[in-house]
Chains A and B, each alone.
With several copies, the nearest count.
Chain A
């Protein structure tokens, strides 16, 4: 078992011939992900790396290869359209890596995704990895190792940092999911917590939040009410000033709302072990797993 992606993942890469798409398609293939198709309009009929068939449209790729998961590396201006296309073609799980998708576009994308019963992860996210099975996105495979800890994060490199700490301490991961740092995202903490709670191969959960919004607070309530597995959490941005967007479009303290202190308190109240720094993940997790 695994969460969102795994050995049954049949991946189509949207934007496979682009700079980022081609680089990461190769990385995913090397990791062992079943990359069954690529899509670049106008390049239908070509083969990527001599093996992966390229199509003009996602619908064609699904018809020809049975792709069930899509990863999007197309530029911001076309990313929302790429999500619509993947969902419309019947793709069940769409992971949008692209950073810079206009948020107003996401307000139109999300109802479409929901109506079709699809899952969107991202945009502006590093994707997901189920170590030993499939890597979809840009999380470096080398820092992961199979195991029984699920990880969900709004961040990219901070996720790597924590995964790396776990792997060095020989704590393997069931699935690591980067949900993205944008204000409107397809999959939030609660979606991931629910999936990990239901996953028989996950024993504990690490949750990496940051300032801005109230997703972490709601996630804490969800943990309190519905999660029986141990959860360890972190909030980035304890020293961030209010009113400034800290890189991620969603990482902004509005007025006095969305602060790290508020979120950490919510974690504590929900029984989540709070990391003060990334290095705390191993001792806290070890303590909870005893």
Chain B
């Protein structure tokens, strides 16, 4: 789960990382009041889960409270990469002497949190990594010992020479690491970490992603989720215990298991079709999940046919068949449905489907090629 900049800022601030003054506003009036409180020139920053906000016109300077209100009224409601801006962050326009990059990721290979820092900050770190890899210092942290003081200093020395700034940055590294570990982050970035002409070290922008697995035990973090920034269908799916990702095609897919769901999408493509979604109903056998899955898929007007691909293991195929039966009784499904199911309680499932006039296929390739053909006919 990605946090908004203002949320990431709040976590860092609570951990003692120096961030500029400022706060978030949902209306031009709030933004104006903040601007007045802060005084001087401020920056108004769109809060959306998208990179390149600046280029998209989502980050602007405002010299007066009135101008802040004006700019906020433009940015609020703006679309950036398909996402509507609902909030802006208003912060003082900082004088910047230098910009550095500080990132901390959960690295799969080393199975550790890994710091990446670079004095070339404020820009895309992947670009720096590709073009000037010697400008990045990479440091894995052994979670048994945590970030050791000399490691924090080594990271800081890579960014600064002035010992006061080095110590300030090392302190920020320690606090960032603490935020990362205590909140189960998969990514925590300060970009840019700036120095002011007076020599202060400040986190000017921050990005934090929380491991979704962390949210169950951390309702305080789960509350930070901004569902207005997500596809409504994906929100509905998550609430129903489904994993759903909207795609551009027209073949709706209902599958049990993430790997099989991906392989099903791939097979749709293989047979010349285009999947409309990724949808994993998970391992449990709840007919309600199937009903909800069908509701979500049929709400997508581009879906021309629906494919079920169920390999019964923990999932009982008769539960899935019952779910289809219940759904069709509750609401009309106007596109054809192709069902493939095999495994646990397959015979019972086939009977249930036959009872409502449907046939069940047992071969994945047969089912996929059939659904692709149906879409072709409909077109």
A interface residues (Cβ-Cβ under 8 A, vs B): 20, 23, 41-42, 56-59, 76-78, 81-82, 84-85, 88, 99-104, 106-108, 110-112, 126, 138-140, 142-143, 153-161, 164, 181, 183-184, 208, 210-211, 213-215, 234, 236-241, 244-251, 255, 260, 276-279
Query: Does the CB pair B111–A184 fall under 8 Å?
Result: yes
Q: What are 29 inter-chain pairs, A to B, with CB distance below 8 A?
A: A41-B163, A76-B213, A82-B150, A88-B148, A99-B283, A101-B213, A102-B184, A103-B213, A111-B143, A111-B144, A138-B283, A140-B312, A156-B258, A156-B313, A157-B313, A158-B259, A160-B260, A161-B263, A208-B259, A236-B263, A236-B266, A237-B265, A238-B265, A239-B262, A249-B211, A249-B212, A251-B259, A260-B266, A277-B365
Cβ distance B305 to chain A, nearest Cβ, rounded Å: 17
Which B residues touch A138, using CB under 8 A?
283, 313-314
Partner of A157, one of B144, B151, B257: B257
**Which residue of chain B lies nearest to A112 when distances are taken between CB atoms in the complex?**
B145
Which A residues touch B280, using CB under 8 A?
247
Query: Does the CB pair B364–A255 fall under 8 Å?
Result: no
Query: Does the CB pair B259–A59 fall under 8 Å?
Result: no
Give 3 closest A-B pairs by Cβ, nearest first: A155-B259, A247-B258, A42-B163
Partner of B313, one of A104, A139, A210: A139
Query: Does the CB pair A104–B211 fall under 8 Å?
Result: yes
Which A residues touch B184, using CB under 8 A?
102-104
Chain B: residues with Cβ within 8 Å of the partner, total of 63
Which B residues touch A59, using CB under 8 A?
150, 154
Query: Does the CB pair B259–A156 fall under 8 Å?
Result: yes
Which B residues touch A107, using CB under 8 A?
106, 111-113, 143
Query: Does the CB pair A78–B149 fall under 8 Å?
Result: yes
Binds A, one of B267-275, B322-330, B349-357: B267-275
Which A residues touch B109, using CB under 8 A?
213-214
How far is A159 from B261 in the complex, measured between Cα atoms in Å? 12
Partner of A84, one of B149, B157, B263, B343: B149
How far is A139 from B364 in the complex, measured between Cα atoms in Å? 19
Query: Does the CB pair A156–B283 fall under 8 Å?
Result: yes
Query: Does the CB pair B148–A159 fall under 8 Å?
Result: no
Query: Does the CB pair B311–A157 fall under 8 Å?
Result: yes
Q: Is B97 an interface residue (CB 8 A)?
A: no
Query: Does the CB pair A251–B149 fall under 8 Å?
Result: no
Q: A102-B217, A103-B106, A154-B259 are in contact. List 5 more A-B contacts (CB 8 A).
A: A56-B153, A85-B148, A160-B260, A213-B109, A239-B268
How far is A277 from B109 in the complex, measured between Cα atoms in Å? 28
How far is A145 from B269 in the complex, measured between Cα atoms in Å? 31
Query: Does the CB pair B153–A57 fall under 8 Å?
Result: yes
Which B residues touch A251, using CB under 8 A?
258-259, 262
Hey, what's the 0/1 contact readout for B19-45 against A, CB within 8 Å counting as 1? Answer: 000000000000000000000000000
**Which residue of chain A lies nearest to B314 when distances are taken between CB atoms in the complex?**
A138
**Which residue of chain A lies nearest to B315 when distances are taken between CB atoms in the complex?**
A157
Query: Does the CB pair A106–B262 fall under 8 Å?
Result: no
How far is A135 from B262 in the complex, measured between Cα atoms in Å? 26
Q: Is B335 an interface residue (CB 8 A)?
A: no
Which B residues touch A41, using CB under 8 A?
153, 157, 163, 166-167
Which A residues touch B153, using CB under 8 A?
41, 56-57
Which B residues touch A160, using CB under 8 A?
260, 311, 313, 343
Hey, what's the 0/1 contact readout for B224-246 against A, CB within 8 Å counting as 1? Answer: 00000000000000000001010
Which A residues touch B167, using CB under 8 A?
41
Which B residues touch A82, using CB under 8 A?
150
Partner of B245, one of A211, A244, A278: A244
B:107-155 near A, CB below 8 Å: 108-109, 111-113, 126, 142-145, 148-151, 153-154
Q: Is B186 an interface residue (CB 8 A)?
A: yes
Q: Is B214 an interface residue (CB 8 A)?
A: yes
Which interface residue of A23, A142, A159, A240 has the most chain B CB atoms within 10 A? A240
How far is A108 from B111 in the complex, measured between Cα atoms in Å? 9
Partner of A140, one of B166, B211, B343, B364: B343
Which B residues touch A211, using CB under 8 A?
262
Known: A112-B145, A213-B108. A249 touches B213 (CB 8 A): yes
Which interface residue of A107, A112, A238 has the most chain B CB atoms within 10 A? A107
Which A residues touch B269, using CB under 8 A?
238-239
Q: Is B247 an interface residue (CB 8 A)?
A: yes
Which A residues touch B364, using CB under 8 A?
161, 278-279
How far is A111 from B364 in the complex, measured between Cα atoms in Å? 41
Q: Is B298 an interface residue (CB 8 A)?
A: no
Which A residues touch B111, using CB under 8 A?
106-107, 110, 184
Known: A239-B269, A278-B263. A143 touches B108 (CB 8 A): no
Partner of B257, one of A20, A110, A158, A238: A158
How far is A215 from B107 in the complex, measured between Cα atoms in Å? 12
How far is A76 from B211 in the complex, measured between Cα atoms in Å? 13
Which interface residue of A23, A82, A108 has the most chain B CB atoms within 10 A? A108
Cβ distance A161 to chain B, nearest Cβ, rounded Å: 5
How far is A108 from B243 in the complex, measured between Cα atoms in Å? 28
Which A residues touch B258, using CB under 8 A?
155-156, 181, 210, 246-248, 251
Partner of B278, one of A140, A181, A247: A247
Which B residues touch A142, using CB under 8 A?
343
How far is A136 from B98 in the complex, measured between Cα atoms in Å? 42
Query: Does the CB pair A248–B266 fall under 8 Å?
Result: no
Query: Does the CB pair B261–A247 fall under 8 Å?
Result: yes
